[in-house]
Amino acid sequence: MLLCAVSLPLWANSKNESDLCDYPGKKFVKYIPQKIIPRGAVSPNRKVASKEDLMLILSRQYSQECDDLGRPELDLIYRLSRELGGKVVSPVDYPPSIQGFQNYLDDSMVSFHFSAEEVTLAHHTADAVSCGYSNYLLPPQCRWPSGMIQAVIAGKMREIIEDSISIRNWWRPKCYNRAVGGARRSDHMEARGFDLDFTTAEKRVQAQLYLCQLYKQKPFNLQVGIGCKTLHVGVGSPKRFPQFPKDGSRYWTYGSLSGCVIKRLPEDNCWRIYKGKKFIFDSKRKGHGAL
């Protein structure tokens, strides 16, 4: 897949005309990726880190960057990794680099879903550069376990829909989030969400049904944003809003959904509303479908 950037950012290492992408009215420079080497899980025997040890390590080494990281979120990451696949290893055992993150994903047994490049590539390179970053946005290592479990869920979607899914956003540091018009309290600033783009609305509703079925099996702290060909998928947000349930689970819709040819599949009845408050399916609550 060819990725292009509007300007000549830090990573653009070719100025040849043959390396330019075609786009109406503009010239773009072809994206030339860094050489990241997937290790193919060369450490398959790396042990799962205990929750107690991992919580202690992360709280000590990242007391400022991840002061909102709590035990409930870590419990959920461990639970989902047991149920869906993946291995929770300690991120501090790896260098804080894209290669280090690739090695972390390899040892977490999830790199066959998404590579480090896919997860961290900035969607708006010029804004990333203006904020002091290059073309990759890599969060503090204390956020890596959250990215790992989000990649597992997104990878399951890829398997189900049998089609490509592109990651548009993961971590958006404060400056970058502001530059791209992100919500003031966006979970992306703590790397707690993937924005996923699908090739068609039909593929999106298939992935959306998977989220519904997964949630129904055993409800958990899930955040979902629904657009025509896009889904925001987040896990474990500690943020609470009065218009949503107290357990942190919530969903919302984007403007693109209003004119979309399909909003959901018939068996997908998870996106509910009652007295103006939206919630994900709960058999004990009154409400009706909102999509």
Residues 2, 140 within the same domain: no
pLDDT of 179 higher than 70: yes
Residues 56, 161 within the same domain: yes
- Interval 205-217: pLDDT, tens: 999 999 999 999 9
Higher pLDDT, 283 or 177: 177
Residues 2, 38 within the same domain: no
Residues 145, 10 within the same domain: no
Distances 290 to 106, 127, 135 between C-alpha atoms, Å: 39, 35, 38
Give mean pLDDT, residues 269-279. 90
pLDDT band at 34 (very low <50, low <70, confident <90, very high): very low
Residues 157, 24 within the same domain: no
Residues 19, 65 within the same domain: no
pLDDT of 249 higher than 60: yes
Confidence at residue 134, expressed as pLDDT on a 0 to 100 scale: 85
Residues 22, 145 within the same domain: no
Range of the domain at 128: 33-289
Give mean pLDDT, residues 216-240. 93
Confidence at residue 17, expressed as pLDDT on a 0 to 100 scale: 32
Residues 78, 14 within the same domain: no
Distance separating alpha carbons of residues 61 and 38, to the nearest angstrom: 27
pLDDT of 14 higher than 80: no
pLDDT of 61 higher than 80: no
Confidence at residue 110, expressed as pLDDT on a 0 to 100 scale: 86
Residues 170, 187 within the same domain: yes
Residues 175, 154 within the same domain: yes
Does residue 113 contact residue 164 with C-beta atoms inside 8 Å? Answer: no
The domain that holds 228 is classified in CATH as 3.30.1380.10
Amino acid present at 145: P
Residues 12, 49 within the same domain: no
- The first and second tokens of residue 79, run together, are 């639970």
Confidence at residue 159, expressed as pLDDT on a 0 to 100 scale: 93
- Of 55-59, 77-81, 121-125, least confident by mean pLDDT is 55-59
Question: How many distinct structural domains can be found in the chain?
Answer: 2
Confidence at residue 154, expressed as pLDDT on a 0 to 100 scale: 94
Residues 96, 204 within the same domain: yes
Give mean pLDDT, residues 254-276. 94
Distances 167 to 92, 95, 154, 175, 201 between C-alpha atoms, Å: 24, 23, 9, 20, 16
